[in-house]
């Protein structure tokens, strides 16, 4: 029988290892844009914000909404405060967070570990809990995004995504995403497009997103 805590730690470790592997992939082409900030030349490589694994999901037929994801590690405390794409790609771009009412912001934060351990102890009563949660429905309109307890999720725009120094922050399904609204054309697998990211400290950084069937 698997020990959930160990498993989760293993998962976290895997992500950490992934982050190490990822460092330096894919985001180096954006040097030009970020040189606006005064970087010391000595340890430039180590000091640059690392952005990797930038992708957008193939947009399904009949929708004009899309989402882009990436992993960001900043050497200093920073925040992602804006994103834009060419108007050939999408009419509006927003930074969004998908909030899982059950678990707060899931997936991008290893601090959920403690919460999860707690969850395990209540696991046996989950089926009953789910039934009871129906009673919260009447107040849902007021509490949208609050704890609905039935696995409900919603997206909301956020002003910024905090990037603590040295910590990999993932924009990934079910967590943060760059929301693309009013897509001009469907995003097709293999397409690429640029996203200009604005950071509080690092300034503007351009990354290239690859469209994946993922």
Partner 1 sequence: MASPPDRPRRAHRALALLVAGSIGLLAACGSDAGSDAGGTTQAAAPTGDFRDEVQGLQRDDPIEVGDVVVPEVAADGSTTPFALKAEPGDLLFVAFGYTNCPDVCPTTLTDIRKAKALLDADESARVAVAFGTVDPERDTADVMSAYLGSFVEGGHALRTEDPAELKAAEDALGITSQVVKDPDGTVEVAHSAKSFVIDDQGRVVDEWAFGSGPELMASDLRLLLEG
Contact footprint for Cu ion (CB under 5 A): 96, 155, 179
Which residues, numbered 171-200, are part of the site for partner 1 (CB under 8 A)? 172-174, 177, 179-180, 189-190
> Look-up: residue for tokens 């193939």?
58
Q: Taking contact as CB under 8 A, which single stretch among the options 32-40, 73-81, 96-104, 159-167 is the one that binds partner 1? A: 96-104
Give, in order, the Cα–Cα distances in Å from 134 to each of 16, 142, 143, 167. 38, 15, 14, 38
DSSP 58: P
Residue placing its CB nearer to partner 1 in the complex, 39 or 184: 184
Picked from partner 1, Cu ion, none, the partner binding residue 31 (CB below 5 to 8 A depending on kind) is: none
- Whether the CB-CB separation of 180 and 93 falls below 8 Å is answered with yes
Among positions 38, 88, 159, 213, the unique one binding partner 1 when judged by CB under 8 A: 213
Provide CB contacts within 8 A for 192, sequence distance 6+: 208, 209, 210, 211
Q: Binding string to partner 1 for residues 46 to 85, with x set by CB under 8 A, is what?
A: ------xxxx-x-xxxxxxxxx---x--------------
Strand ranges (DSSP E) for 64-112? 66-73, 78-84, 90-100
Distances (CA, A) of 123 to 71, 117, 120, 171, 190: 31, 10, 5, 28, 42
8 in contact with partner 1 (CB under 8 A): yes
Residue 126 contact partner, candidates partner 1, Cu ion, none, CB within 5 to 8 A by sort of partner: partner 1
> Which CB atom, from 52 or from 74, has the smaller least distance to partner 1?
52
Question: With respect to partner 1, which residue has the nearer C-beta, 204 or 210?
Answer: 210
User: Residues 98 to 137: which contact partner 1 by CB under 8 A?
Assistant: 98, 100-103, 106-107, 112, 116, 119-120, 123-124, 126-127, 130-131, 133-134, 137
Of 14 and 44, which CB lies nearer to partner 1 in the complex structure? 14
Q: CB atoms < 10 A from the CB of 193, how many? A: 19
Q: Is the separation of the CB atoms in 30 and 206 below 8 Å?
A: yes
């Amino acid at each position: 029988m698997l020990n959930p805590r160990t498993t989760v730690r293993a998962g976290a470790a895997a992500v950490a290892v992934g982050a190490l592997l990822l460092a330096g992939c894919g985001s180096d082409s954006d040097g030009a844009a970020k040189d606006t900030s005064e970087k010391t030349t000595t340890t430039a490589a180590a000091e640059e914000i690392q952005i990797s694994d930038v992708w957008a999901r193939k947009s399904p037929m009949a929708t004009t909404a899309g989402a882009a994801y990436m992993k960001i590690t900043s050497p200093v405390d920073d925040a992602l405060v804006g994103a834009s794409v060419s108007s050939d790609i999408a009419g509006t771009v927003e930074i969004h967070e998908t909030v899982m009412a059950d678990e707060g912001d899931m997936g991008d934060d290893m601090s959920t570990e403690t919460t999860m351990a707690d969850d395990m102890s209540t696991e046996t009563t989950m089926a009953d809990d789910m039934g009871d949660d129906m009673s919260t429905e009447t107040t849902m309109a007021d509490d949208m995004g609050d704890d609905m307890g039935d696995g409900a999720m919603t997206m909301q725009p956020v002003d910024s995504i905090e990037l603590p120094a040295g910590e990999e922050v993932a924009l990934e399904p079910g967590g943060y995403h760059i929301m693309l609204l009013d897509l001009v054309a469907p995003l097709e697998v293999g397409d690429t497009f640029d996203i200009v990211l604005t950071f509080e400290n690092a300034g503007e950084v351009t990354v290239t997103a690859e469209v994946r069937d993922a």
